[in-house]
Chains A and B, each alone.
Chain A
Amino acid sequence: MLVFGTIPYLVIVALAVIGLATVALKRNLIKIFLGITIFESAINLFLVSLGYRDGAVAPIFTDAPSTEMVMATPQALTLTSIVIGVATTALLLSFAVLIWKHYGTVDTDKIRRLKE
């Protein structure tokens, strides 16, 4: 049981490491943005796993059986976080489009006009 309960957290750590490693090591802007999205997914999964209760039901009070109910807060947090993530991704991708238009590349090693 304990082993089963820890699987989501192992997945979360793996996803977070993959995401951050992608951000740190890749040179392609699009891949960096993908890394951010993977990291976001790891955190969304973290929030959802926090709210998971074994055998509990959704907190709808009409005709609910008298068992444990799930607190809906983590789900609400995750939804909000997903929405924010979509906005973030959209903005990042539009930056990528602009960079491509003006530099002709999405390689971070070649995007270095700022320092000149």
Chain B
Amino acid sequence: MITDAIIANSPALLVMIPLIAAFACPFIGRISPAVRNIWVVGAMVLTAAMALLLAGEVFSSGTVVYTFGASAPGMSVPPDSGGIPVRIVFTVDAMSALMQIIGAITGLSIVLYSIAGDRRHTGLESYYTLYLLMIAGVMGMVSTGDLFNFFVFLEILSISSAGLIAYRIDRGVAVEAAVKYFVLSTIGAMVILVAIGIFYGEYDALNIAVIASRMQFTLLDQVALVLMIAALGMKCGAVPMHFWTPDAYSMAPSSITAMLVVASQASLYGLFRVVFTLYNVTLNAATVGWIIIVLGVLSMVVGVTMAIPQKDVKRLMAYHAISQTGYMLLGVGVGLAVLGNQSLLDAFGYVAMEGGIFHIINHAMYKGLLFLTAGAIFYRIGTRNLNRMGGLGHNMKYTMVFFVIGALAIAGIPPFNGFASKLMIYESVFMFNPILSIIAMVVSILTLASFVKVFHSIFMGPRLPEYADVKEAPAPMLIGMGILAAVVVLFGLFPGVVVDHLIEPAAQALVNQGAYISAVMGGA
């Protein structure tokens, strides 16, 4: 009885649990830090459980629609409304479920890591409050089927992220990074709101499915599309709107940086949702597809070339994050460019999209892992400067192993997960345009070169006298990193299983606009 109710209301609980836990956190924190830690971990475990439960439901029995305030959650269109979903509707299809899984796994491992890694700081009540708000923001963004609701969760996410980027004030430098991030993301969110206003003015609706079913692709829609792509592309850190990424990623606490990766990908999800579900074949797929491909290629090349000369390990990783985002844009962009042409879509379009989507989940895992290892190193030696590191492999063996796993995965070396998704992208993009595929491979090689250098300067070499008694990172941090590393290895060893059960439904869900609309609107 209770389990049925929980399953039926899981989309609401998914956002509710972290929200309630977040705002209760400052009060719980007054009791004692230990109770607060239990509270935060408990809330995160529950949220992750909800996400996995809901994802299981979606993957086994199709899109879940949850209507807030309706007599039955599935009743998105009230009988007396004339066929319009008047309430806020959460529409969780396979793509949303995939993003929820990403948020759940990374969110949980980051919390475990954070319990040990950030315990020396003050003001941890607010830290965890904002962290749980970030989780609520991500979960809401990927679940919602309502454009304005999407904007609200986007703002929840960026306000809490900005607070956390500035959290370790660091003589004002972190605040500087946060200002940069927050000014840009506020303007981005406002631009998205303009686009939402345009949709509302044209179609009298905010529900994605309703707008999609009425989409005309007029001049105004084209303006809205450009606004959406620009703002969401900026939020996910694609070149040429990437300026905030290295600053924010390097100045935030490492655990938050790992979460910022997920936050960027929630924006990426928004971009794909807009392009595929809102517009789909009405837009000029080849043109928009090429725009996204060009954004992707620029991100890949600029990201990796900027990464090579960096001396700050987290700044370097941040540039690599930009570069990896390029792969996702490339893969999905190729899928979009051939949208509407079934034979090309079957030949390579689906595989390219699956590669891009698979890379999203892989990236969240290995990039999160890499940022967490960087954080563990910073925790022990107090510097992020590569030139002042060395010989840490003697003392931090587990951290070194986790770093190697992450580095090989990001460079696309088998048998790690980065290889599986990159191979799919190479093969399919080669059939679309060989030059793009070659660029992607070269970027991968440069990534490998860069990480070999980083690995060498952090871990190799003789034991340095100042780091002679450096200890291994504490156990909770290792557990957090271990979860992510395990996922990286498992996804790399069994890519077929993951692609068949998670990625392919997600790609289908993006392409198949009709299914999304009919899930909300009923049999229409």
Contacts and interface: CB of A to CB of B under 8 A. Distances in A.
Q: Do A and B come from one complex?
A: yes
Given A43-B193, A99-B175, A91 B163 contact: yes
Contact of B200 (A32, A73, A88, A99): A73
A42 B145 CA distance: 26
A43 B197 contact: yes
B182 A91 contact: yes
Secondary structure class of chain B's binding surface, majority of residues: helix
B141 to A, nearest CB: 14
A40 to B, nearest CB: 6
Given A39-B190, A91-B159, A101-B172, A80 B152 contact: yes
Contacts of B183: 23, 32-33, 36, 92
Interface string B181-200: 01100110010011011001
Interface residues of B, number: 32
A80 B178 contact: no
A87 interface: yes
Contacts of A101: 172
Contacts of A33: 183
Contacts of A71: 204
Interface residues of A, number: 33
A47 interface: yes
A77 interface: yes
A98 B172 contact: yes
A19 to B, nearest CB: 9
Interface string A24-42: 0000010011001001100
Interface in A28-73: 29, 32-33, 36, 39-40, 43, 46-47, 50, 71, 73
A74 B180 CA distance: 30
B361 to A, nearest CB: 30
Interface in B143-187: 148, 152, 155, 159, 162-163, 166, 169, 171-173, 175-180, 182-183, 186-187
Given A91-B163, A92-B183, A98 B148 contact: no
Contact of A102 (B162, B175, B251): B175
Given A23-B183, A84-B155, A111 B176 contact: yes
A87 B193 contact: no
A95 B178 contact: yes
Contacts of A75: none
A50 B166 contact: no
Contact of A92 (B179, B201, B206): B179
A74 B190 contact: no
A114 interface: yes
Considering residues B148, B178, B190, which has the most beta carbons from chain A within 10 angstroms of its beta carbon? Answer: B190
A46 B186 contact: no
B57 interface: no
B186 A74 contact: no
B247 interface: yes
A95 B155 contact: no
A34 to B, nearest CB: 12
> Which among B169, B186, B187, B251 has the highest number of chain A CB atoms within 10 Å?
B186
Nearest to B158: A88
Contacts of A29: 179
Contact of A99 (B148, B172, B206): B172
Contact of A87 (B148, B159, B166, B196): B159
Contacts of A88: 155, 159, 182, 186
Contact of B175 (A39, A50, A84, A98): A98
A114 B152 contact: no
Shortest beta-carbon contacts, A-B, top 8:
A102-B172, A98-B175, A50-B201, A84-B155, A95-B179, A113-B173, A114-B176, A46-B197
8 contacts: A32-B183, A33-B183, A36-B187, A77-B197, A92-B179, A98-B172, A102-B175, A113-B173
Interface of A: 20, 23, 29, 32-33, 36, 39-40, 43, 46-47, 50, 71, 73-74, 77, 80-81, 84, 87-88, 91-92, 95-96, 98-99, 101-103, 111, 113-114
